[in-house]
C-alpha cells in the first residue's frame, strides 16, 4: 500500500542540464548540444569549469529565474498524476536553492501539475532527512546518491534513467511506470 509519492524535479520532470548548458554556451564555455551529462559535476570534470565559476553560474541560474522555464521531460505528467488514486499524497521534493520556491511553484502551475501536488518542498537539506518516515512511500529520483540514501532507510525508489546514472539503473521507470506501480499498490 502506497500512501505517498515523492517526485524529484531536475533530471526527472524538468530538464536542468539542457537549460544550464544553453546558458553557459552563450558565454562560449560549452557547446549547447553537450547537454547529456555523464556525471553531476560534468561542467567541472569534463568542460574544465573552475568550481567557483560553476557556483557562480548556479547562483545566476537561480537568481535569473531559469528554473521557471525548464523544459518538461514528461509531457504527460499532469495527465498521469491525475490518474493516481486520490488517497495518494503527492510531494515534490527538490534540492534547489530555497530562493527558487516561487519559480518552482510557477513551473508546476505552467505544466498543470500544481493541482495534483499536495506539498512542494524546496530545500538544500539532504532529502532523506526531510521527512521523519519514508514508510509506504514511493520515490522517483535520478540522483544516485539520493537513491542510495533512500534505499539505506528502506524506502521504495524508482530511479529515472539518465546518462549520469545509466550504468546503475535496473528499472526503466519513467513516470508512466511510476503511476502504474502506485495504482497497483493502492
List interacting residues with Mg ion (CB under 5 A): 8, 10-11, 142-143
Q: Least CB distance from residue 135 to Mg ion, whole Å? A: 22
Q: Least CB distance from residue 167 to Mg ion, whole Å? A: 17
Contact yes or no for 165/142 (Cβ under 8 A): yes
Cα angle value 178/183/184 (rounded, 5°): 95
Q: Least CB distance from residue 132 to Mg ion, whole Å? A: 22
3-state secondary structure of 157: strand
Nearest to Mg ion of 142, 181 (CB atom): 142
Nearest to Mg ion of 50, 98 (CB atom): 98
Q: By C-alpha distance, which of 10, 7, 12, 19 is closest to 114?
A: 7
Q: Least CB distance from residue 164 to Mg ion, whole Å? A: 9
Nearest to Mg ion of 85, 166 (CB atom): 166
How far is residue 41's CA from residue 22's CA, in Å, rounded to a whole number?
16
For residue 6, the cross-strand partners are 91, 139
Per DSSP, the chain holds a count of helices (H) and strands (E) of 7, 7
Q: Work out whether strand 137-141 and strand 14-15 pair parallel, antiparallel, or are unpaired.
A: unpaired
Q: Least CB distance from residue 157 to Mg ion, whole Å? A: 12
Nearest to Mg ion of 81, 165 (CB atom): 165
Nearest to Mg ion of 14, 182 (CB atom): 14
Please give the residue whose beta carbon sits closest to Mg ion in the complex. Answer: 11
How far is residue 160's CA from residue 140's CA, in Å, rounded to a whole number?
7
Buried b / exposed e over 143-159, threshold 16 CB at 10 Å, is bbebbebbeeeebbbbb
Amino acid at each position: 500500500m502506497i500512501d505517498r509519492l515523492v517526485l524529484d524535479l531536475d533530471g526527472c520532470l524538468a530538464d536542468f542540464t539542457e537549460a544550464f548548458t544553453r546558458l553557459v554556451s552563450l558565454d562560449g564555455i560549452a557547446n549547447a548540444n553537450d547537454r547529456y551529462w555523464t556525471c553531476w559535476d560534468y561542467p567541472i570534470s569534463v568542460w574544465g569549469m573552475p568550481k567557483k565559476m560553476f557556483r557562480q553560474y548556479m547562483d545566476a541560474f537561480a537568481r535569473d529565474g531559469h528554473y521557471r522555464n525548464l523544459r518538461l521531460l514528461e509531457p504527460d505528467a499532469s495527465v498521469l498524476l491525475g490518474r493516481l488514486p486520490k488517497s495518494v499524497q503527492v510531494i515534490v521534493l527538490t534540492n534547489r536553492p530555497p530562493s527558487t520556491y516561487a519559480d518552482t511553484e510557477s513551473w508546476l502551475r505552467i505544466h498543470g501539475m500544481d493541482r495534483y501536488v499536495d506539498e512542494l518542498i524546496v530545500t538544500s537539506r539532504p532529502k532523506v532527512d526531510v521527512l521523519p518516515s519514508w514508510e509506504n512511500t514511493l520515490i522517483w529520483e535520478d540522483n544516485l546518491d539520493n537513491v542510495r540514501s533512500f534505499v539505506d532507510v528502506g524506502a521504495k525508489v524508482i530511479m529515472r534513467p539518465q546518462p549520469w546514472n545509466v550504468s546503475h539503473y535496473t528499472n526503466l521507470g519513467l513516470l508512466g511506470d511510476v503511476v502504474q506501480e502506485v495504482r497497483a499498490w493502492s
